Structure 1
Amino acid sequence: MGTAERYEAPEQDVTGRAPVRQGAGAPERDVPAGREQPHYRPLWIEEPARRRRLPDPVRTAAVRAVLIVAVTLVQAVVAFLCTLAGSWLAFPMVLSSVASTVVATWGVLDVWVTRQVWKQRNGVVSTPSSTARALRRERRRLRRQAKAAGRGQKGIRQPGGAGHLSHP
């Protein structure tokens, strides 16, 4: 039977009955009751970040510090194991572990300093406290009152006298 005949002939199940065609939204009747169409879930669900991302210079310093600390810990473990085994490599490893500890300390301090510098240059948005804002508002109000009082006393004085136009 060719492709054309297969599509033209009514489909029949084992009992010899032709299945009833359903609409697009209706479930199919020839699917057994226990077997549903598979429900596809997304691999992950986007959630908002709890904290903001670190600035690039700070993140770079942090990655560098983590790598240096990891290498230092590996060196310390190797030095300890070499010491237990009585290997000739124990002494050089202990010396390099001490040097790496100094470098790791520098790396961690570098993260802290970089973070503080970045905050001072870019990150700090100064918001005055409510007390400072109220004081500033009060000073502004007093200045406006003083200007208004000065204008009222001084007035607009012309050589011809107050209230006279310059043209007769």
Structure 2
Amino acid sequence: MDGTRRVERPGARRPLWIEEPVHRPRMPDPVRAAAVRAVLLVALTLLQAMVVLLLTLAGSWWAFPVLLSTVAGVVATTWCVLDVWVTRQVWRQRHGVVSVPSSTAREVRRVRRPRYP
């Protein structure tokens, strides 16, 4: 803070939020969409597992069909988590990642680069 105080006028509207700079850039849209899907499926699968546990403790015949559904949910959740990883890698390859090559790699690029007068 710079030490100055803000004087609020009566009746003046304050913004609902103040944006602050972030240290890390936002995730790309395809990666974020895959991550949201994965989180929703993880939550649903955990909920199903809890329901299976409660139905088993209650001795209900519904426990087995819900268990089968939970197993399918675990497979789908695993697929979605892998999708996040693959989508992130594909996005990085297509849009490039800022990297600093080593001095050896830099030297090899200089040798290959055509020289224009």
Taking structure 1 as the reference length, the TM-score comes to 0.53
Distance 1:135 1:121, change over 3 A: closer
Aligned length in residues: 104
SS at match of 2:55: helix
CA RMSD across the alignment: 2.6
Residue aligning to 1:54 = 27
SS at match of 1:111: helix
Residue aligning to 1:88 = 61
Please state how far the C-alpha of 1:123 moved relative to its aligned partner: 2.7
Residue aligning to 2:6 = none
Matched, 1:109 2:82: yes
Residues in 2 aligned to 1:97 and 1:105: alpha-carbon distance in whole angstroms: 12
Taking structure 2 as the reference length, the TM-score comes to 0.74
Distance 1:61 1:136, change over 3 A: closer
One-letter amino acid of the structure 2 residue matched with residue 123 of structure 1: G
1:118 to 59, 74, 91: 91
Greater share of residues in helix? 2
Query: Unaligned regions of 5+ residues in structure 2, if any?
Result: 1-8
Residues in 2 aligned to 1:113 and 1:87: alpha-carbon distance in whole angstroms: 40
Residues in 2 aligned to 1:124 and 1:42: alpha-carbon distance in whole angstroms: 36
Matched, 1:100 2:67: no
Residue aligning to 2:16 = 43
Residues in 2 aligned to 1:136 and 1:59: alpha-carbon distance in whole angstroms: 35
Residues in 2 aligned to 1:121 and 1:87: alpha-carbon distance in whole angstroms: 51
SS at match of 1:50: coil
Residues in 2 aligned to 1:114 and 1:50: alpha-carbon distance in whole angstroms: 23
Matches for 1:73-84 after TM superposition, within 5 Å: 73-84=46-57
Residues in 2 aligned to 1:76 and 1:44: alpha-carbon distance in whole angstroms: 38
Residues in 2 aligned to 1:98 and 1:71: alpha-carbon distance in whole angstroms: 12
Please state how far the C-alpha of 1:56 moved relative to its aligned partner: 1.3
Tell me which structure has the larger Cα radius of gyration: 1
Residue aligning to 2:3 = none
Distance 1:136 1:84, change over 3 A: closer
Residues in 2 aligned to 1:67 and 1:50: alpha-carbon distance in whole angstroms: 26
- The higher relative CO (CA closer than 8 Å, separation ≥ 6) is in 2
Residue aligning to 2:105 = 132
Percent sequence identity over aligned pairs: 71
One-letter amino acid of the structure 2 residue matched with residue 64 of structure 1: R
